[in-house]
Amino acid sequence: MSKFKEWRAGYLFALPALAYMLFFVGYPIIDNIRLSLLDVNVMNLVNGDQPFVGFDNYTKLFREGALVKVLQNTLVFTMMCIALQFVVGLAFALLFQLSFRFSQRLRGLVMISWLLPATITAMMFKFMFGSGGIINDVLLRLHLIQAPIEWLVERHTAMFTVILANTWIGIPFNMILLTTALTTIPKDIYESAAIDGANVLQRFFRITLPQLKSAILSLLVLGFIYTFKVFDIVLIITNGGPVNSTQMMSTFAYKLSFDQFQYSQGAAVANVMFLVLLVVGFVYMRLLNREERS
C-alpha cells in the first residue's frame, strides 16, 4: 500500500469519530462562545435583537467582582479536595497493599462512596452537618464543643463541609488508580533495597514515590479537571451559599442562565471555566508526551 493510501485510510477510520466530536462537542463550544459575545436575556431570547456586545459580559462579570470571587472559591475548593483525596487515597492504597485479613473486603467497602450517586451523598452530608445533625451530636457528647456548630451557616465551615463531601467521594478513585500503579512496581527493587539496608521511609520516598510519578501526575491533573467542574454536590449541600461563599463556576453559570435568565452572562462564565480547563488539559498533554519520550 502506498504512503498516500495509508494516510487516507487512517483519516477514513477517524472520520466517524471526528464528525461526532465536531457535532456534539465542537458545535456547542462555538455556539457558547457566540452566545457569550451577544447580549441574550429574558427580553430577546426568542424574538428581538440580540446585540453584539463583544467582551462586555466578561468585563462586567469581572468588574462586579462576582467572577473573581467564584473563580477563587472554585480554585480553593479544587486544590483542597485534590490534596486531601490524594493523601488519603495514597494512604489507603498503601494500607491495603499489606495483604492482611479482610484487606480485600475492606478495600471493597471503601469503594462504596464512589458507587453512591453524588446526589445521595450530598443529601447525607447536608443532614449530617445540619445544626441538629449527627456530627454536632457526636461532638457535643464528646464534650469537644459547647454549642452546636452551624456548619452550613458560617462561610468557612460551609466551604469545609462541601470540600469534605467531595473528598469523601474522590478518595476511592485515587486509591484504585494508585493501587494499580503500585502493583506495577517490581518487587525485586524493594528486596534489593532492603538488603542494602534501606528503611521503610527511605523505600517509600526513594522507590515508591518516584515509581508512581506518572500515575500521580495523571491523577492530579484528572482530579483537577473532575473537581473543578463540581456541580451537584455544591448545588445540593449549600446551593452556593451562605452569601455566595461556596458559589462555584458551574453553579454560578447555572444560576445566571436559568435563575436570572442572563443567558449570555451564564455562557461567559462557562467559557472562562472552559478556558481554565483547556490550559490544564494542554499542560497534561505536554507532561504525558514528555513522560512517553523519556
Residue 62 binds another protein, judged by CB under 8 A = no
Nearer to another protein among residue 163 and residue 267 (C-beta): 267
- Amino acid identity of residue 288, one-letter, is L
- Distance in angstroms (rounded) separating the CA atoms of residues 30 and 220: 28
Binding span for another protein by CB under 8 A among 24-32, 67-75, 88-96, 160-168: 24-32
Binding-site residue total for another protein (CB under 8 A)?
48
Helix, strand, coil proportions of the chain in percent (round to 5)? 75, 0, 25
State the binding string over 228-247 for another protein (x if CB under 8 A, else -).
xx-x------xxxxxxx---
CB atoms within 10 A of CB 215: 16
DSSP-assigned states of every residue in 154-171? SHHHHHHHHHHHHHHHHH
Torsion of CA 281, 164, 169, 127, to 10 degrees: -140
**Should residue 58 be labelled a site residue for another protein when binding is judged by CB under 8 A?**
no
Site mask for another protein (CB under 8 A), range 134-173, x = bound: ----------------x-xxxx------------------
34 near another protein, judged by CB under 8 A? no
Take residue 66 and report the three cell numbers written for it: 462576582
Q: Is 260 in the site for another protein (CB under 8 A)?
A: yes
Smallest distance, Å, CB 243 to another protein?
5
Identify the three-state secondary structure at position 203: helix
Cell numbers linked to 129: 452537618
Residue 52 is a binding residue for another protein (CB under 8 A): no
Span near another protein by CB under 8 A; candidates 8-16, 109-117, 187-195, 263-271: 263-271
22 vs 16: CA distance, rounded Å:
10
* 253 forms part of the interface with another protein (CB under 8 A): yes
Query: Taking the mean position of all CA atoms in its chain, how far away is CA 59?
Result: 26
Task: Return the range that interacts with another protein (CB under 8 A); candidates 4-12, 27-35, 109-117, 178-186.
Answer: 27-35
CA atoms within 13 A on the CB side of 271: 20
Interactions with another protein, residue window 198-227 (CB under 8 A) = 225-226
Residues engaged in binding another protein (CB under 8 A)? 24-25, 28-29, 32, 41-43, 45-47, 130-131, 150, 152-155, 225-226, 228-229, 231, 238-244, 250, 253, 257-263, 270-271, 273-278, 281
